Chains A and B, each alone.
Chain A
């Protein structure tokens, strides 16, 4: 059914349809609307679930860890500092191979404290072992949650999945979205049957001490499963397309790449703005395009290589920093061309939209302009010169 919904309401709705038995969360802006709505859905008796109000994100993640270990489908959501507070548990859930699904309302990290959108929180946890999917719009956020549960609970995957949606821009934005029926969801996502769980009929120890004799093999297996997920995700996305009629690749999405001379690589809602700019510039005869990265982990290096190998000029847009080094997405994209026969002549790096700084069509046009001249290295877009140190001191 097509409905005009706020992003958070749409996510709460799809989570309801996925029927988690345990939901646990701690409030943090801009995740709150999602969990408030789920609390109401449970209070109204529309979802048979235990809603556990906890005293911190660390415990929210620990509650869903415990519930998942007991064999029950579980859900949590967080953002920013909350994700960092639960970071220890986030790594633990992946290492224990528990198929938790979490929404991250992607937000900046303090200091300075700032509640607005960029990608620093989720991107900082890219090494945690979770599959990490980034939504461009509300419809994709809805669909990725359904895909996430099916992916997480696949017997050969058994990994947690984080669905990232830009804080405020998607969580608080309104969009007309298709929400599937319960029947459609049930058909796509059968009830969860845990291959291992805490069960008094068949006692097992989960989370044992593993010494140097076996630790590497456990971590190797985790890494190997991420490689398998790279093969599995496009197949799952194809199944989803067949069932619901909306087409996804699951890993990446190319937009006007065919004859493109200049391509921006980006994640999340910025891709919508870039598509508009691409359309405008195409009308003027400029051969520009976009490569959207949906799946940050596992990193689809081969798919990205194939998509970009013949593009002369590429610019990677990062909305997070790896302070003191190359921007995170840029580093991954560059690594995808390491040792390969073909590569773009230039792969420029731009930083923009930190802490909710608006990304306008002009910001994107500026990137398309700057990437032509020479390879740019971590260039910030839309900085205010009057607030920078040198200029600021002049005014004292």
Chain B
């Protein structure tokens, strides 16, 4: 199959990010320029003198893809090519929600015609599984380790879709690599809308989450089915769509991952995580009314 993200790169087996990145660029098409933050994706796909990318690709630094993309988009406007060439800025969760948040906010506020894609694998995986602002509550990472005085990461995920949505941009969506056609539909929809767009894609990392590399898709699916990773779309600030689910208890998601193993005999903590899922379910109305989902 012809793709704009070619094989031969050095991603780990079962890498959710590499799956999602291919789906995104293939949906966006060849008339696209990518600006990428430093992170796993850039490292495993562009080792000189080879590249996986069949489209123009710019990597600059860890936190500035939203700004370099703003420069590229401005240059395209100057050249009169803004109508024919797409710009995608993409980064991991740390590069988006932490160190790159300021540049992203500037890009959104200025109204550039750019799709920003956050590949959310819920920690700094490229540097060895340190917690980020998008690491979930109680997750065991190398900088939120468990111990007699710790049950893991002390805070829930930063609500990035809402933070981005608060900028008054036309389109915000979450997606999951367990639902490839849904990713591609959302990318195509984003590309049809003028202005800044944001898609955050849940991408399991077998190494960091400590699950079998063959389970990437099913783990990602469980995150959606438990309500821990709601799939939603905001259009012009309003919740426009959501994937409704037949609910599963959060234990089903947690038990297949080493990063949550310490919680399975801790009913108090499990209750808190179920509370996060329940809150999502209520907030977005994720529960199916008829069991035909």
Q: Which residues of A contact B (CB under 8 A)?
A: 21-22, 24, 48-50, 52-56, 58-59, 62-72, 74, 88-89, 92, 96, 198-200, 203-211, 214
Contacts and interface: CB of A to CB of B under 8 A. Distances in A.
Contacts of A21: 75, 78-79
A199 B42 CA distance: 19
Interface string B63-77: 110111111101111
B53 interface: yes
Interface in B96-125: 102-103, 105-106, 109-110
B74 A63 contact: yes
A66 B64 CA distance: 10
A56 B69 CA distance: 15
Given A21-B79, A203-B54, A62 B60 contact: yes
A209 B46 contact: yes
20 contacts: A21-B79, A22-B74, A49-B78, A50-B75, A54-B67, A55-B106, A58-B63, A62-B64, A65-B60, A65-B71, A66-B67, A67-B72, A69-B72, A70-B33, A70-B71, A89-B60, A198-B56, A198-B57, A200-B32, A204-B56
Given A50-B77, A70-B33, A200-B30, A208 B72 contact: no
Residue among B47, B51, B77, B78 with max Cβ neighbours from chain A (10 Å): B78
B75 A22 contact: yes
Contacts of A50: 74-75, 77-78
B110 A69 contact: no
Given A55-B102, A64-B71, A203-B55, A214 B110 contact: no
Nearest to A60: B67
Given A62-B61, A89-B60, A55 B71 contact: no
Given A55-B102, A205-B53, A24 B71 contact: yes
A28 to B, nearest CB: 16
B20 interface: no
A365 to B, nearest CB: 48
Given A52-B70, A68-B71, 16 more contacts: A56-B106, A59-B103, A63-B68, A67-B74, A67-B75, A70-B71, A70-B75, A74-B75, A89-B61, A200-B33, A200-B56, A204-B56, A205-B56, A205-B57, A206-B57, A210-B48
Nearest to A202: B56
Residue among B42, B51, B70 with max Cβ neighbours from chain A (10 Å): B70
B83 to A, nearest CB: 13
Nearest to B35: A66
Interface of B: 30-33, 35, 42-43, 46-49, 51, 53-61, 63-64, 66-72, 74-79, 85, 102-103, 105-106, 109-110
A74 B64 contact: no
A65 B70 CA distance: 10
Contacts of A68: 71
B32 to A, nearest CB: 7
A307 to B, nearest CB: 39
Residue among B54, B63, B72, B103 with max Cβ neighbours from chain A (10 Å): B72
Nearest to B77: A50
Nearest to B47: A209
A198 B47 contact: no
A362 to B, nearest CB: 47
B67 A48 contact: no
A55 B105 contact: yes
Nearest to A54: B106
Given A198-B56, A200-B33, A203-B55, A69 B68 contact: yes
B67 A59 contact: yes
